[in-house]
Amino acid sequence: MKHLKSSSLDLREIFSRDITVRYIAEPLASFDAMVDSATVKAFVTERNYDVIGVRREGFIAGYARAEDLQVEGGSSLADYAELVPGALLIQDSEPLVQAILAMRDTPYLFVESLGQVNGIITLGDIQKAPVRMWLFGLISLMEMQLLRVIRETYPLDAWQQYLSETRLTIAREMLERRQASNAEIDLADCLQFCDKRDIFLKSDRLHPILHSDSKNRGEKLLKDLEALRNNLAHAQDIVTGQWPQTADLAEEAEQLLLRLERYL
């Protein structure tokens, strides 16, 4: 029996301790409060910024939304300045995971360091490597646990009853190729994500782990996770048209992972 030495807690610890908000944050562009709004409007329009920092006495003391800025009337940036609400503020030392979950409800967060706002996170930053690493690691660890549970629930490859002959042939051919390279594996190691998904969905013993209240929800969860994993593996967009669903899916994946780890 193969035993896993990693857990969701290990993964969470790595990203809580070592990979924090500062790794995806960008500097927050800012202007002095007394600069005329037309100048600032031209700047944010050229760079396609949604917000701009507002400085007072050299420090960012608030922000202004690009859509609110006017180009006529001789107004200054101060006329559009707002204080940064606590709900939009995150410390640069906070775990990356916290930023991802917090951004389910907002297109940006302001980043504070040493008591001063100096950075910003937007949805575009969710595409960066640290976020992708966390998501891919989470899904990979969950897939490993799916396999562990299958092995322990159906020893001696009894899980084969839930797969078509076509899928079993693919797994057997993969086993032959990998064993020819002296890989120490068995047939279960050659199961793909879709195979593990089908075993869980067809097994009356396993599908309640996915969603105890609905088999359909369990199927949707695994299919969505497989699609996200494929997008991550091929460096595809994981935000456009998929947010905040991606954040919700990550949270569901963590919950499923914990359930799998507690099984047997």
Helices 8-17 and 129-153: angle between axes, nearest 10 degrees: 170
The reported pLDDT for the residue numbered 70 is 85
| pLDDT, tens digit (0-9, with 9 covering 90-100), for 136-159 | 989 999 999 999 999 999 999 999
Helices 215-233 and 245-262: angle between axes, nearest 10 degrees: 110
Q: What CATH number is attached to the domain comprising 32?
A: 3.10.580.10
CA–CA distance, 237 with 191 (Å, rounded to integer):
27
CA–CA distance, 47 with 30 (Å, rounded to integer):
13
Of 124, 146, 168, which residue constitutes the final position of a domain?
A: 124
Of 105, 124, 143, which residue constitutes the final position of a domain?
A: 124
Same domain, 50 and 156: no
The reported pLDDT for the residue numbered 22 is 94
Cβ atoms 235, 199 nearer than 8 A: no
| The total number of structural domains that make up the chain | 2
The reported pLDDT for the residue numbered 62 is 97
The reported pLDDT for the residue numbered 132 is 94
Q: What DSSP assignment string belongs to 79-128?
A: GG-BPPPGGGEEETTSBHHHHHHHTTS-SEEEEEETTEEEEEEEGGGGGS
Of 72, 99, 124, which residue constitutes the final position of a domain?
A: 124
Query: For residue 13, is it within any domain?
Result: no
Query: For residue 232, is it within any domain?
Result: yes
| pLDDT, tens digit (0-9, with 9 covering 90-100), for 173-203 | 999 999 998 878 999 999 999 999 999 999 9
Q: Which domain holds residue 227?
A: 129-262
Same domain, 240 and 176: yes
Same domain, 112 and 229: no
Same domain, 118 and 151: no
Report, as ranges of residue numbers, the positions in the chain whose pLDDT lies below 50: 1
30-32: strand order across its sheet: 30-32, 51-56, 59-65
Q: By C-alpha distance, which of 249, 252, 147 is closest to 206?
A: 147
The reported pLDDT for the residue numbered 220 is 92
Same domain, 115 and 136: no
Could you give the 3-state DSSP secondary structure of residue 20? strand
Same domain, 137 and 243: yes
Please name the helix (run of DSSP H) or strand (run of DSSP E) that holds residue 154, with its range, or none: none
Same domain, 230 and 201: yes
The reported pLDDT for the residue numbered 3 is 54
